Amino acid sequence: MINLLPFEEKNRLILQKKEKMSIVIGLAVLISLICMILILLSIKFYIMSEADYQISLLQQAEQQNQNKDGEILSGLTKSYNANLARLASFYKKEIYFSSAVEIITNVEKPDGVKMLNFSVDRLPSGKIQMSVAGASDTRDNLLIFKQNIENEKKISDPKFSAESWISPKNANFSLTFQINENE
């Protein structure tokens, strides 16, 4: 077939054809881009919803574990606190025998006075009471020892038994006193 159209008309027809073709290709590319964007958005929303679901499952599991761990830790804490209270009570009632003996042995004694037995107790008031039994070669040495005990600041309320003063020689004595821990 012979095309008898003028050259400008032929160019215009070719140009229209190219325009239609570019419009079709452009629309195809645009539609494919829109479809790709829609597909990617749907994937994004799906992943976000799955991530939220997994996060909520993880939070529930953590809360359950925290409750169990919290109960265990709470029980352990209570038992440790009870043990600490018992230890504190024990140490409050504890008597330091060495410091009590040191106080009485530091009191100046005449040569004839000997201490034979010691006994240390804690009174309900919390004070320490000590009992000492001993022997003295003379009553005068025992009197000197009594004065030295009374002059000691860490010793309060010294009491000698009445039997301590009966014998003028080879006197056995018993002494009770309280120790001032604050001094």
Structural domain boundaries enclosing 42? 36-94
Query: Which residues have a Cβ under 8 Å from the Cβ of 117 and sit 6 or more positions away?
Result: 131, 132, 133, 134
Identify the helix (H) or strand (E) that includes residue 125.
none
Closest by CA to 108, choosing from 48, 62, 158, 150, is 150
Please state, for a pLDDT cut of 70, what percent of the chain lies above it: 93
CATH number for the domain spanning 151: value is 3.30.1360
CA distance 175 to 47: 89
- Neighbouring-strand partners of residue 171: 136
Helix (H/G/I), strand (E/B), else coil: 25: helix
Per the DSSP assignment, residues forming a β-bridge with 138 are 169
Residue 90: the pLDDT is 73
Contact (CB, 8 A) for 89 and 122: no
pLDDT tens for 2-22 read 677 788 888 999 999 999 999
Asked if residue 25 is part of any domain, the answer here is no
Residues 64 and 132 in one domain: no
According to the model, what pLDDT value does residue 183 have?
52
Distance CA 142, CA 110 (A): 8
What is the domain count for the chain? 2
Read off the pLDDT of residues 129-153 as tens digits, 9 standing for 90 and up: 888 888 888 888 888 888 888 888 8
